[in-house]
C-alpha cells in the first residue's frame, strides 16, 4: 500500500513550505574542505552612484531642486524581495534582485560547533519559520540512513534557544502556528502517520507534544488551531493537542485535509489507495461535514498528494504524481492543476520537469499567491563508483501564465543544497 500524502513536503504549506524527500549518499565527516560554505556566487558589491555636483547658489540664493525618488518595482512574487533560506547548512539572506549579494546570517561552522555535530549526511531536511528566526535542521545519524533516524536540531538564529531532539524517522514539516510558538511535523507510515507538535516559544523551547497516529493533521486557516482526522471522526485541537470539537464524517478518509481561508469549507483527498492506482476524486465539504460534493481531476491514474486553497476561497491547486512516474526511484510531482471548486472546471498547468531532475516537489505559494516555488534535485553524477546528487535548487514560476510555465532559479549558487525559502516581513527589514 502507498499513501497519497507521502512526502508532501515539505512544504508547506501552504502557510508554510513542505520539504523535499531525502536522498541517500555516503555520509561525510565534518571538515571545512568537505562542506564548502557556499558553492559559488561570490558576493558582488552594489555599484555606487557618482554624486552629481550641485551648482553654486545664485545671487538670489534659490534652493537646489530635490529629486523625486522613483519607487522600486514590486519583485516577482510580491513581498519584501528578500528571502531567507538554508544553503549548504548556512542560513542566508538572499535579495531577489541581486541574488549574488547574499548575506550569511548563521554560518555552518557555528551550527556545527553549537551542536557538536560530528558527521553530516545527505539524508537531511530543514525548515525555517515565517519570521526567519527559528530553524529546524534534521540530519540522519547513520551512513546509509537505513533506520531513517537522527537528531533534529532546533534553534533560534542567535542560538539563545537551542535543543536537540532525537527523531525516529524522517520528519516532514507542516508549518508553524500564527505566532510561531508551535511547529507541526509528522513521521510517515504505511496506513497512517505519527504527528507531533514542538514548542518553539522561549519557555519550554523544544518540548515535544505527541498527537498520535492519525490519518491527517493540518493547521486551520488562521494557524491558531489544528484539524485532525482518524477514521470517520474529525477533531479540532488547540495548540497543545487538546480536543475542542469533533464531528462525524462519512466520506472515508477524505474529509478535513485542507480548510479554506475563510474557514467555511474543506477540501479532502483519499490518502491511502492500493499500489498502482490513482485517487482522482476531491471532496468539498461544508464546515461541519454535513454536506459535500465530489469533483474530479482529468487524469484518473494520477496520485493526488496535496491540495492547496488560493486566497479567493474558490480555487484550489492540485499537486500530484502521474502514472508515468510510478517506476521512478524518487518522487516528482509532475501533475499540477487549478480547479474552480464551485463549477468543477479544471485547468491543467503543464510542467516540463527537467529530465535530469530526480525529485520535484512543491514548497508553497509566493506572498502574492501568484507564483509557486518548487524544490528540484538535480541529476545524478558518479564519483568513484558512487551515485551522488548534483544539488537541490529552489525554482519559481507563475500560476496563471498561458502555456508551459518558465522555471526561474531563485539563487545563483552552483550545485548547492537549498531549502524552501521564506520571504522576510517588510517591517523586519526597516
pLDDT tens digits for 212-266? 999 899 999 999 999 999 988 999 999 999 999 999 988 776 787 899 999 999 9
Could you tell me which residue, 128 or 402, shows the higher pLDDT? 128
Are the CB atoms for 5 and 307 separated by under 8 Å?
A: no
As a whole number, the mean pLDDT across the chain is 81
Flag whether pLDDT at 333 surpasses 70: yes
Flag whether pLDDT at 117 surpasses 50: yes
- Residue 419's domain is classified under what CATH number? 2.130.10.10
Residue 323: predicted pLDDT: 82
Segments of 149-301 assigned E as strands: 150-156, 162-167, 171-176, 182-187, 193-199, 208-214, 216-219, 226-230, 233-237, 243-248, 258-259, 265-269, 272-273, 281-286, 292-296
Is residue 69 in a domain? no
Is residue 384 in a domain? yes
Q: Residue 372 forms beta bridges with which residues? A: 365, 397
Residues 6 or more apart whose Cβ sits within 8 Å of residue 164: 115, 151, 152, 153, 154
Q: Residue 288 belongs to what domain range? A: 2-34+77-429
Segments of 88-170 assigned E as strands: 90-95, 103-106, 119-120, 124-128, 134-139, 150-156, 162-167
Residues 6 or more apart whose Cβ sits within 8 Å of residue 383: none
Give backbone dihedrals phi and psi of 101, rounded to 5 degrees, phi first.
-90, 45
Alpha-carbon span 219 to 230, nearest angstrom: 16
Is residue 57 in a domain? no
Is residue 61 in a domain? no
Is residue 65 in a domain? no
Instruction: State the total domains in the chain.
Output: 1
| 97-101, 140-144, 330-334: least confidently modelled range | 140-144
**3-state secondary structure at position 318:** strand
| 28-32, 277-281, 295-299: least confidently modelled range | 28-32
Is residue 66 in a domain? no
Is residue 155 in a domain? yes
Mean pLDDT of 85-103: 95
Mean pLDDT of 70-95: 87
Is residue 63 in a domain? no
Amino acid at each position: 500500500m502507498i499513501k497519497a500524502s507521502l512526502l508532501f513536503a515539505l512544504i508547506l504549506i501552504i502557510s508554510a513550505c513542505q520539504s523535499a524527500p531525502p536522498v541517500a549518499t555516503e555520509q561525510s565527516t565534518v571538515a571545512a574542505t568537505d562542506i564548502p560554505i557556499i558553492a559559488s556566487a561570490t558576493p558582488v558589491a552594489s555599484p555606487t552612484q557618482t554624486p552629481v555636483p550641485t551648482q553654486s547658489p545664485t545671487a538670489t540664493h534659490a534652493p537646489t531642486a530635490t529629486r523625486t525618488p522613483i519607487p522600486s518595482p514590486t519583485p516577482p512574487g510580491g513581498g519584501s524581495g528578500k528571502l531567507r533560506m538554508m544553503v549548504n547548512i548556512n542560513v542566508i539572506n538572499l535579495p531577489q534582485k541581486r541574488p549574488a549579494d547574499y548575506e550569511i546570517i548563521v554560518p555552518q561552522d557555528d551550527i556545527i560547533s553549537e551542536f557538536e555535530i560530528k558527521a553530516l549526511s545527505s539524508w537531511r531536511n530543514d525548515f525555517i519559520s515565517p519570521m526567519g528566526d527559528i530553524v529546524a535542521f534534521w540530519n540522519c545519524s547513520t551512513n546509509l540512513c537505513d533506520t531513517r533516524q537522527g537528531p533534529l536540531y532546533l534553534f533560534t538564529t542567535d542560538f539563545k534557544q537551542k535543543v536537540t531532539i532525537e527523531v525516529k524517522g524522517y520528519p516532514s514539516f507542516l508549518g508553524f502556528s500564527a505566532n510561531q510558538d508551535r511547529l507541526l511535523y509528522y513521521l510517515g507510515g504505511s496506513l497512517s502517520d505519527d504527528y507531533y507538535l514542538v514548542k518553539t516559544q522561549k519557555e519550554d523551547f523544544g518540548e515535544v507534544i505527541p498527537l498520535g497516529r492519525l490519518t491527517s493533521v493540518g493547521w486551520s486557516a488562521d494557524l491558531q488551531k489544528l484539524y485532525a482526522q482518524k477514521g470517520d471522526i474529525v477533531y479540532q485541537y488547540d495548540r497543545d493537542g487538546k480536543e475542542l470539537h469533533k464531528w462525524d464524517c462519512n466520506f472515508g478518509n477524505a474529509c478535513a485535509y485542507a480548510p479554506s481561508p475563510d474557514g467555511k469549507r474543506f477540501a479532502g483527498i483519499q490518502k491511502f489507495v492500493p499500489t498502482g492506482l490513482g485517487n482522482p476524486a476531491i471532496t468539498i465539504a461544508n464546515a461541519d461535514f454535513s454536506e459535500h460534493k465530489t469533483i474530479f481531476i482529468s487524469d484518473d491514474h494520477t496520485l493526488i498528494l496535496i491540495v492547496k486553497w488560493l486566497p479567493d476561497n474558490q480555487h484550489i491547486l492540485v499537486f500530484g504524481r502521474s502514472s508515468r512516474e510510478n517506476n521512478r526511484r524518487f518522487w516528482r510531482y509532475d501533475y499540477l492543476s487549478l480547479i474552480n471548486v464551485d463549477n468543477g472546471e479544471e485547468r491543467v498547468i503543464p510542467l516540463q520537469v527537467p529530465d535530469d531532475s530526480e525529485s520535484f516537489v512543491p514548497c508553497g505559494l509566493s506572498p502574492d499567491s501568484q507564483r509557486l516555488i518548487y524544490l528540484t534535485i538535480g541529476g545524478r553524477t558518479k564519483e568513484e563508483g558512487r551515485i551522488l546528487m548534483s544539488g537541490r535548487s529552489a525554482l519559481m514560476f507563475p500560476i496563471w501564465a498561458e502555456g508551459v510555465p518558465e522555471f526561474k532559479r531563485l539563487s545563483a549558487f552552483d550545485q548547492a543544497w537549498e531549502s524552501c525559502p521564506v520571504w522576510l516581513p517588510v517591517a523586519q527589514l526597516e
